[in-house]
Amino acid sequence: MKKMAILISTLKIGGAEKQSIYLLNALKDKYKVFLIVFYGDIVERKNLQLIDGHNYDFIALNGNLLKKINFLYKFFKSQNITHLFTYLTKPNFYGAIIGKIAGVKNIYPSIRSTVLPQWKIALEKMASFFSTAVIFNSYCGESIFQQKGFKKTIVIPNCFNYIAAPLQRNKQGTIKIITVGRFVDDKDYFTALNAMKELRKSTEYFIFQIVGYGNLENKIRNKVAALGLSQYVEIIIKPDNIPVLLNEADIYLSTSLFEGTSNSIMEAMNACLPIVATKVGDNNRLVSEGMNGFLSEAGDYVSIAQSLKELINDYAQRIKFGLASHKILNENYSFEKFQDTYLKLVNKS
């Protein structure tokens, strides 16, 4: 009998955490599955609400590192775990080594980023040595890490669960541009704000909503004031209604410096939004230039502003691009496709 374990650092709000739960949903009706949280005291109730049904076991680890390692070894061995899926560097590292020693036959660490510090790359490489294959959520990530010496690799893109029915917006005077993400350096909100400053040269009929949270909040607020954009920018901290905000918006903007497969862009595509994004990660697989959005080089706020201007001035194009976004999401990133890929992976091993 095949038994699955999914090991994740925490269940805080984040892309890897959400995808680990989608994997749980994909496997748990076919196999016995255990969801294990390495830092068991960091669990967001919102994430648990994403789990469909109750056909799984949840384990929150506590205590010091040695106690956790000892528990995992005994658990993998006593439960005869046949497949172990891990997310993020520490679970990848500990899971691969402990799983190998405990006799787990199929070990799949998952790398979710295209950029990691050297110490994380070293741990990931060691984990890959003990693994069946490393799963990447982007083709860009796989290519980058293959160049770093990773040989056993698989790409399984993120999925988007519960794809909504297509939405067609009414024409309105003031256009809402929205971006959603953590307030961290790699999201490059300062380029986004520079683009808004540039955009003001040609139109004032827009509102830019920055939705998220993080350490850069004060710097972002200061930048808004310094650029004279207070009238045009709304900063919304950790709202409970992100899908509603996306449905009320007209254009989605992503100025990230690097990505894997962007969950935030997929959420925008689900809301039938045209996308303006940077040419990083697998954004070129989510955004087809001139079909559902526009791509610019990272940091090029002038090009970004020009793309935004074109969409602001053309209602029909916004609707056309938004419906194309929804179609791309539905055809390539559905839960059903994600589930089928993982079930085939498990069945052949």
Instruction: Note the pLDDT tens digit of each residue in 92-142.
Output: 999 999 999 999 999 999 998 888 999 999 999 999 999 999 999 999 999
pLDDT in the model for residue 268: 97
The pLDDT value recorded for residue 46 is 82
pLDDT band at 54 (very low <50, low <70, confident <90, very high): confident
pLDDT band of 66, cuts 50, 70, 90? very high
CATH superfamily entry for domain 3-159+334-347: Glycogen Phosphorylase B; (3.40.50.2000)
Helix-, strand-, coil-residue percentages of the chain, each rounded to 5: 45, 20, 35
Choose among 222, 159, 163, 150: nearest CA to 190: 222
Listing DSSP states for 32-71 in one string gives: EEEEEESSTT-B-HHHHTTS-SS-SEEEE--S-HHHHHHH
What pLDDT score was predicted for residue 48? 85
For residue 263, what pLDDT is reported? 86
213 DSSP β-pair partners: 182
314-323 contact pairs (CB < 8 A, 24+): 315/171, 317/274, 318/169, 318/250, 318/251, 318/274, 319/168, 319/169, 321/274, 321/275, 321/291, 321/292, 321/293, 322/167, 322/168, 322/169, 322/271, 322/272, 322/273, 322/274, 322/292, 323/166, 323/168, 323/272
Kindly list the domain boundaries of the chain, sorted by start residue: 3-159+334-347, 175-332
- Beta-strand ranges (E) seen in 172-274 are 175-182, 206-213, 233-237, 251-254
Model pLDDT for residues 165-219, shown as the tens digit of each residue: 999 899 988 999 999 999 999 999 999 999 999 999 999 999 999 999 999 999 9
The residue with greater pLDDT, 16 or 121, is 121
> What's the whole-number mean pLDDT along residues 294-307?
98
Q: How far apart are CA 275 and CA 308, in angstroms?
A: 9
Which fold is adopted by the domain 175-332?
Answer: Rossmann fold (3.40.50)
- 241-262 per-position pLDDT tens digit: 999 999 999 999 999 998 888 8
What residues have CB less than 8 Å from 124, skipping those under 6 apart? 89, 92, 93, 109, 111, 116, 134, 145, 150
Q: Which long-range contacts (CB under 8 A, 24 or more apart) does 298-302 make?
A: 298/188, 298/191, 298/255, 298/256, 298/257, 299/188, 299/191, 299/257, 300/191, 301/191, 301/192, 301/194, 301/195, 301/197, 301/198, 302/195, 302/198
Give the Cα separation of 244 and 211 in Å (integer). 12
3-159+334-347 and 175-332 share one fold: yes
CA separation for the pair 272, 8 (Å, rounded): 31
pLDDT at 45: 83
Residue 52 scores a pLDDT above 90: no
Between strands 83-87 and 153-155, the pairing is unpaired
Please give the Cα distance from 295 to 321 (Å, whole number): 13
Q: Rounded CA gap, 135 and 25, in Å?
A: 18
Statement: residue 13 has pLDDT above 80 = no
pLDDT of residue 113: 85
Q: 288 near 324, Cβ under 8 Å?
A: yes
- Mean of the per-residue pLDDT values of the chain: 95
pLDDT of residue 96: 98
pLDDT of residue 15: 80
